[in-house]
Amino acid sequence: MPKRIFITGYGIISCIGSNIPENLNSLMRSAPGTGPLLHVDTILRDEVLVGEVPKTHQELFELAGVAPVEGYSRNALLGIIAATEASAHGRLGENTGLKTGLISATTVGGMDRCELFYKDFLENDSRNIYIDSYDCADSTEKIAARLGIHDFVTTISTACSSAANAIMLGARLIRNGRLDRALVGGCESLTKFHLNGFNALKILDKEPCKPFDQHRAGINLGEGAAYLVIESEESMLKTRNTPLCELAGWGNACEAYHQTASSPDGEGAFMAMKAALEMSGLKPADIDYINAHGTGTDNNDLSEGRAIERLFGDRIPKVSSTKPFTGHTTSAAGSTEAILSVFCLLYQVIWPNLNFTERISELGFTPVEKLLTGIPVNAVMSNSFGFGGNDTSLIFRKVNASNANNVNNADNADNANNAGNAGNAENIEN
């Protein structure tokens, strides 16, 4: 029987909060974090809305506990902040005899440092500039060094499915005995390159994004970082960690329909969701909520919607996109939305699809319009679909007495509802 994988720690920084409690509080208040661009000097500054972390570079150094020296990209600092919170929550600093890995995802990497160096290069005609923090792996290496993780360290870059694939790879390494536990997730920062690249595709919305809406006009880019600690049952017997939930299934498909667009019929999305369901052993009717990729673009939402209808038929679960809260954090979206999905299981809530007004005419379902609390949420599907048709779906399942079996602390699994010092849903809401 394959090893079961459990989430035992998490950490996040986004435009709606600098840690787990702050993010949960913003979600419970239905308070989005998108707004004007403040920290990137670009000609698009007054034209776009973004989900920008409201911290300067100096403030991020302070949050990360890092001395303000050259060579730290905004991306690396965001990653260190979220990874440190997850590591502390999952107690990675203890039980050092366990094989521990770091799988971190990013695409932009240290592009913000590169942009500064490029300006200096043009103005000073320098030919001897070495950009040591530019590549994607730099942020991963800095996180690993900060947390003392050495057994396995790698970086994944598959566009918007990157962090979801990092979670999937970590789970596979644990199942195959390569690791006992892993810190998995992603980080991404806003840069000129980032903004202008998506602007060239003509998919940036100048107003708050409207996923699954008939009048959707594009995305609001975001930034942030999110990491989860995942481990096997055998590892949990040693760490004595209480599981937040189980990573019950995952699926990835790469349909290669187009460099940037999803296929019109959603074939890749369908294959990824179907594979995740099959691995989990769950039936379509067992999924209570889908945290959709839901970017707000004309192409993605129709494609994903068709795939959902094909897989779930006339019994479609509750669906929403949380990107109106956080912006589209691209390579960090998979882990950001994984944590938001874990919240749903812990606090028995479903997040609203903000800004929705009218159903897409080609689809037969509407997303959740208001915050839902106090309802049974036992299984959540989280979708992350990237350029090139690299599509990944993850399924998270609530841990309770009926499915915990021999999981450590299974008799006290309900204590997971207090995880992350965030309190319960009622207290947060009030």
Residues with catalytic function: 160, 293, 328
DSSP states along 129-190 = ---TT-SHHHHHHHHHHHHT--SEEEEE-BTBTHHHHHHHHHHHHHHTTS-SEEEEEEEE--
Q: In sequence order, what are the residues at sequence separation of 6 or more whose Cβ sits closer than 8 angstroms to the Cβ of residue 125? A: none
- The Cβ of residue 361 has, within 10 Å, a number of other Cβ atoms equal to 7
Tokens of 254: 């790469």
In angstroms, rounded to a whole number, what is the distance separating the alpha carbons of residues 154 and 170?
10
By C-alpha distance, which of 392, 336, 421 is closest to 79?
336
Contact 209, 323 (CB under 8 A): yes
Tokens of 301: 């939402």
Size of the chain in residues: 430
By C-alpha distance, which of 352, 326, 335, 419 is closest to 21?
419
Backbone angles phi, psi at 370, to 5 degrees: -130, 155
- The residue type of 21 is P
